[in-house]
Structure 1
Amino acid sequence: MSFIDHLEVLRGHLFRSVVAIVIGAVIIAIYQSFFIKHVLLGPTRPDFPTYGFFCRIGRALHLEKALCMQGIGIKMQSTSVAGQFSTFISILLIGGIIIAFPYIFYEFWRFIRPALTKKELKSTRGVIFWVSFLFFLGVFFGYFVIAPYTLNFFGNFQLDENIENRWQLSSYFDTMIPLILGTGLAFQLPLVMLVLAKIGLVSATYLRKMWKYAVVLILIIAAIITPGPDVVSQMTVAIPLLILYGVSILLAKRVEKEQAEEEKEWS
């Protein structure tokens, strides 16, 4: 195929991806009341599932102060003429991307798949499922764990009792989206390490050697994501990331084992 032919094929994949995003956005528009009140603004409500779940765990472990959260109950405002409308359009776009993510990656995979060898295709079997699974796992973790801790910290933080927290709607949205999408992408760590191991940039030995630095880096990231001073909230974020790093080591070790067996066959 010529370069122009490749662009023509790419255009088709992009067009179908955009259609999938539009369909996802239409779904959110139809059920906008539910998505805005119970999903987007869910972590601000005292009946948000995370608060009751972690509070029950806190009572069982005698850590009520560290794990119990009550919701923030902050009034929001929109100070620009088209502020609420522009935020609504952003909600449709981001929500459509999240809903359509598996299909978007499927179209991306269809575009690059013809360039792979049979051996590479065999080693990437199930990639669409695992990429989508880890993405949604990260999105749910960011939404149900990281977002409530972050919002509670900022919602209850006061320089003085005479200063009232009253958030801009756009500021709230701009805080939530990076937390959710960023965590979804961060949970792709094992697959990224798997690809790097396959092309020889990292190894299980190297990852094990760097685990001390990885732990420090993960703890720093957890402290940034959960600005509260308590150790329990930071470990709630750090533990899943440490588990993902451990999974990355196991995957890299598996790649090394497969490559060693192939070298034996050729020798």
Structure 2
Amino acid sequence: MSDPQHNQNEVPEETFISHLVELRNRIIRAGIAVIVVFVGLVYWAPDIFRLLARPLMMNLPKDGKMIVTDVTGSFFVPMKVTMLVAFVIALPIVLYQIWAFVAPGLYQHEKKLVMPLVSSSYLLFLCGMAFAYFVVFPTIFRVMAHYNAPLGAEMTTDIDNYLSFVLTMFLAFGVTFEVPIVVVLLVRMNVLTVQKLKQIRPYVVVGAFIVSAVVTPPDVFSQLILAVPLVVLYEAGIIAARLFVSKPAVEAEKESEGNAAQ
């Protein structure tokens, strides 16, 4: 006869292993998607880097150039940029693999919320990157060139340092544009109310300027470029929370969860 206690111990272990196997498969599929896009773009890696460097090149002095201080920098930096572009392009597939892994453990109302949430987060992150590329970079580089002119200093930068700078800016503005999503989630999860969000508005404004002072170059204009959108997006989040997260809807959701538990 088989030992019932032994069988009960095996079931959680088998379930855990099956989850690990599924997680591995999802990670492999997501990685393959990124690699496939990367292979399709690698031929144009120098062009992709030139496109990324365009905001700086347009504000360099006449005949100004970027420099390479590392022997392998001229090869690996365009490859890094291309890999990051491939990841951004393949991100919907990566997010779908994450969704497919966690979906079985979610309630029905949570499943309905996740897809719009993920889609809007992806679009807002892209908007943040676009804002950094088309608005922030030209403005910052123009200001920096203006500061360098009276000093008689030549404005040049290493391509690896430039990549680090633009990645920091992309991340900062991409996350900044997620603020409305965070605000809506906080209200929907009953962590904060719309009224409380309005009350803490002065602290958010101060925090926005502190964050911008840390992330952006040390001049007032560059700091305003990040701080002002952050405050505006916070206000947009409050409006979205008021429109899309109504009190009756939250109460109905709680009631349905209580009935399901019974």
TM-score bucket of the superposed structures, by smaller chain: 0.7 to 0.9
Q: 2:106 & 2:254 partners in 1: Cα distance?
A: 21
Q: 1:159 & 1:29 partners in 2: Cα distance?
A: 37
Contact preservation (8 Å) 2:48, 2:78: no
Q: Using a 3 Å threshold, how does the CA distance of structure 1 residues 180 and 27 change in structure 2: closer, same or farther?
A: farther
1:87 to 77, 80, 89: 77
Question: Corresponding residue for 1:259?
Answer: 250
Contact preservation (8 Å) 2:183, 2:241: yes
Q: Following superposition of structure 1 onto structure 2, how do residues 202-217 of structure 1 map, counting pairs within 5 Å?
A: 202-217=192-207
Question: Corresponding residue for 1:60?
Answer: none
Question: Corresponding residue for 2:54?
Answer: 42
Mark the runs of 5 or more structure 2 residues left unpaired by the alignment. 1-13
Question: Corresponding residue for 2:239?
Answer: 250
Q: 1:191 & 1:145 partners in 2: Cα distance?
A: 22
Contact preservation (8 Å) 2:48, 2:82: no
- The number of residue pairs the alignment matches comes to 240
Q: Using a 3 Å threshold, how does the CA distance of structure 1 residues 207 and 127 change in structure 2: closer, same or farther?
A: same
Contact preservation (8 Å) 1:203, 1:256: no
2:42 is equivalent to residue 29 of structure 1: yes
| Alignment deviations for residues 60-107 of structure 1 (CA, whole Å, 9 cap, x no partner) | xxxxxxxxxxx2244221122212222123112212112212221121
Identity within the alignment, %: 26
Q: 1:135 & 1:246 partners in 2: Cα distance?
A: 17
Contact preservation (8 Å) 2:184, 2:237: yes
Question: Corresponding residue for 2:32?
Answer: 19
- The one-letter code sitting in structure 2 at the alignment partner of 1:241 is L
Displacement of 1:221 after TM fit?
Answer: 3.5
| Alignment deviations for residues 216-239 of structure 1 (CA, whole Å, 9 cap, x no partner) | 222344455364444xx6544444
Q: CA RMSD in A?
A: 2.7
Q: 2:253 & 2:202 partners in 1: Cα distance?
A: 32
2:84 is equivalent to residue 72 of structure 1: no
- The one-letter code sitting in structure 2 at the alignment partner of 1:80 is D
Question: Corresponding residue for 2:9?
Answer: none
1:7 to 7, 15, 20: 20
| Other structure's SS at 1:11 match | helix
Q: 2:21 & 2:97 partners in 1: Cα distance?
A: 14
Q: 2:155 & 2:112 partners in 1: Cα distance?
A: 54
Stretch moving more, 178-187 or 214-223: 214-223
Q: 1:160 & 1:13 partners in 2: Cα distance?
A: 55
Contact preservation (8 Å) 1:45, 1:72: yes
Stretch moving more, 136-145 or 212-221: 212-221
Displacement of 1:125 after TM fit?
Answer: 4.4
- The one-letter code sitting in structure 1 at the alignment partner of 2:21 is E
| Alignment deviations for residues 1-45 of structure 1 (CA, whole Å, 9 cap, x no partner) | 7111111111111111111211232233122243122x2111024
Stretch moving more, 240-249 or 218-227: 218-227
What TM-score comes out, normalization by structure 1 length? 0.78
Question: Corresponding residue for 1:240?
Answer: 229
Contact preservation (8 Å) 2:38, 2:83: yes
Contact preservation (8 Å) 1:146, 1:225: no
Question: Corresponding residue for 2:87?
Answer: 97
- The one-letter code sitting in structure 1 at the alignment partner of 2:99 is W
* 4+ residue runs over 6 A deviation: 263-267
| Other structure's SS at 1:80 match | coil
Contact preservation (8 Å) 2:187, 2:241: yes
Name the larger-Rg structure. Answer: 2
Question: Corresponding residue for 1:64?
Answer: none
What TM-score comes out, normalization by structure 2 length? 0.79
